[in-house]
Structure 1
Amino acid sequence: MNIAFIAHDKKKDDLVRFTIAYEGVLKSHTLYSTGTTGFRIMEETSLNLHRYKSGPLGGDQQIGAMIAENKMDLVIFFKDPLTAQPHEPDISALIRLCDVYSIPLATNMATAEVLLSGLKRGEFKWREILKEKNRNEN
């Protein structure tokens, strides 16, 4: 599965700790991230991530493009709800795309843990069914 990681500045430490805890589950998947978030994860784990630009420079939109092309299966985005973000419209667009394309999205550690627990149990087979359906329609 293709999994994206994004974290606001005040949530990057939490996301790094989360990926350390779930490194065993994540290592068998293709991982993507915005720039600084991916750098921090790779610094602290043995995970390899494809890094896009930082969020404010368009990284959120690059991940959004993958969602729109049905090339992303899961998004883990640790948002900071207490700090205004200058690129808030991009964040809203990314969340909207996840809803439009039925991409599971975790915006906090509790939800991310539920999603990765399900991933570990193999409960995301429906993503493969949707991908196959889309391939057949195009």
Structure 2
Amino acid sequence: MAKLVRRTLALVAHDLKKDEMVEFARTHRTILARFNLVATGTTGGRVLAACPELSLTPLKSGPLGGDQQIGALIAEGQVHGLFFFVDPLSPLPHDVDVKALTRLALVYDIPMALNASTAHMIVGQLVD
């Protein structure tokens, strides 16, 4: 009999989108509880504070390599969906992070949400 493996989702949010990510996690905590979660440091800490029952592993903070850690997990086939709440009005240094993670999600053909509206739609599909 094959062992069921829980799929993994990644959560990332720019500074001005962290509250939105926390609210997304609160709203969908029952569905997210079916998955292993990884997140960049601050985002993961905030989500865990709001939803301590989730199986979430915080990685390094984005600027300290957390985005690259998630990218490596995507490339290794260990992340099956990316929820990256991007602040389109933030300074350009974040642009490199957005491009790197979105490129990997596209290359490895995993679902990706860059805003809350898309994230809600993807989570709705996970229920089916």
Give the structure-1-normalised TM-score: 0.84
Identify the match of residue 88 of structure 2 among 76, 81, 86: 81
1:57 aligns with 2:51: no
Comparing 35-44 with 90-99, which one deviates more in the overlay? 90-99
Identify the match of residue 106 of structure 2 among 91, 99, 106: 99
Partner of 1:136: none
1:113 aligns with 2:120: yes
Other structure's SS at 1:3 match: strand
Which residue type is aligned with residue 69 of structure 2?
A: Q
Which residue type is aligned with residue 42 of structure 1?
A: L
Percent identical across equivalent pairs?
46
- Residue deviations 1:14-45 (CA, integer Å, cap 9, x gap): 00001000000011110100000000000011
1:11 aligns with 2:17: yes
Task: Report deviation, 1:75.
Answer: 0.5
Flag structure 1 segments of 5+ consecutive residues without an equivalent.
Answer: 122-138
Does structure 1 retain, via aligned residues, the 8 Å contact 2:86–2:98? no
1:41 aligns with 2:47: yes
Task: Report deviation, 1:91.
Answer: 2.4
Give the number of equivalent residue pairs: 121
Higher helix share: 1
Looking at structure 1, the residues matched to 59 and 115 of structure 2 have their Cα atoms a distance apart, in angstroms, of 21
Looking at structure 1, the residues matched to 116 and 79 of structure 2 have their Cα atoms a distance apart, in angstroms, of 19
Looking at structure 2, the residues matched to 95 and 117 of structure 1 have their Cα atoms a distance apart, in angstroms, of 21
Other structure's SS at 1:94 match: helix
Task: Report deviation, 1:89.
Answer: 1.7
Comparing 49-58 with 79-88, which one deviates more in the overlay? 79-88
1:70 aligns with 2:74: no
Other structure's SS at 1:31 match: strand
1:28 aligns with 2:34: yes
Does structure 2 retain, via aligned residues, the 8 Å contact 1:15–1:78? yes
Runs of 4+ residues over 6 Å off in structure 1: none
Partner of 2:97: 90
Looking at structure 1, the residues matched to 64 and 93 of structure 2 have their Cα atoms a distance apart, in angstroms, of 11
Flag structure 2 segments of 5+ consecutive residues without an equivalent.
Answer: 1-6
